[in-house]
Chain A
């Protein structure tokens, strides 16, 4: 176990960057709530909500969780696998869309 664990300089974002990211996150949340209030059609709403959520997640991971300032190898070890596994699950949603049409009539 390394004692002087990787004594790199504390590279990272400044306080003002963190604050800007926070404000951006709040703004995106506000847009999401507005979309819900306006009762936008379901598919558009879902696309916008998911898109915004992914952008918010990317901002939190990059800046708050400091991943933007870490080595590329860390990102590559963690995230391609996660995305791949999620895509594998999402493939089954095609099945879900068909099921309501396959029920026998009441």
Chain B
């Protein structure tokens, strides 16, 4: 980690921890978002841990995800989310360079990636519910916890993605109207990358570990 500012405040006012300035060299919105993201990480970590614990204690955990279409769908979903993270980074970059029109376009591109993710995910959910008869309480494969953990984890994540889409929509219209600054775009970018980050753990642990080949 590089530290590009010294720990002493301006005009010899002493240590940065003595008050009157940010010791993290960042604005309070960004710091607030980081604190929220760390707390939300703990929520997802606890849920992933509960899923892991349930799975380890049930050696006959089902492996219902065929490569085609389930794993292919979820891989495309991963691609959508990763690409939307790239477009979000480009949005922050554009806003830092003052190009508001480009920023709006990049934010809209990010929303397209997120929306594609939600649509694919919901279609997969509907298939599991209607065709395979999986509910949060029961499923045909003998381990009722499978449905509970699956829908809780992916449902909470999808809720975060949908909230992110609403957040980005507000940001996009705010930038277009000249209401928001670069720091606002950066903070929304932090949230969006967090959503992608959580998926980086859910995808291998929930989907790939339950892949069925052949």
Contact = CB atoms under 8 A, between A and B. Distances in A.
Residue of A56, A68, A90 contacting most chain B CB atoms (<10 Å) = A56
A44 interface: no
B167 interface: no
Contacts, number: 162
A contacts with B: majority SS: helix
Contact of B5 (A8, A15, A49): A8
B126 interface: no
A106 interface: no
A11 B2 CA distance: 11
Nearest to A5: B27
Contacts of B208: 32-33, 35-36, 45, 49
A86 B38 CA distance: 12
Contact-size category for A: 35 or more
Interface string B74-109: 010011001101101110010010000000000000
B131 interface: no
A81 to B, nearest CB: 7
Interface residues of B, number: 61
Given A6-B26, A78-B38, A90 B49 contact: yes
20 contacts: A2-B21, A5-B26, A8-B5, A12-B96, A15-B90, A19-B86, A22-B85, A29-B78, A29-B203, A53-B201, A60-B85, A65-B194, A69-B4, A71-B3, A71-B25, A81-B38, A90-B49, A93-B56, A96-B52, A99-B57
A-B complex: 10 closest residue pairs judged by Cβ atoms: A5-B27, A49-B204, A96-B56, A36-B208, A36-B211, A74-B24, A99-B57, A22-B86, A89-B49, A10-B96
Interface of B: 1-5, 21-29, 31, 34-35, 38, 41-42, 45-46, 49, 52-53, 56-59, 67, 71, 75, 78-79, 82-83, 85-86, 88-90, 93, 96, 183, 186, 189-190, 193-194, 196-197, 200-201, 203-205, 207-209, 211, 213
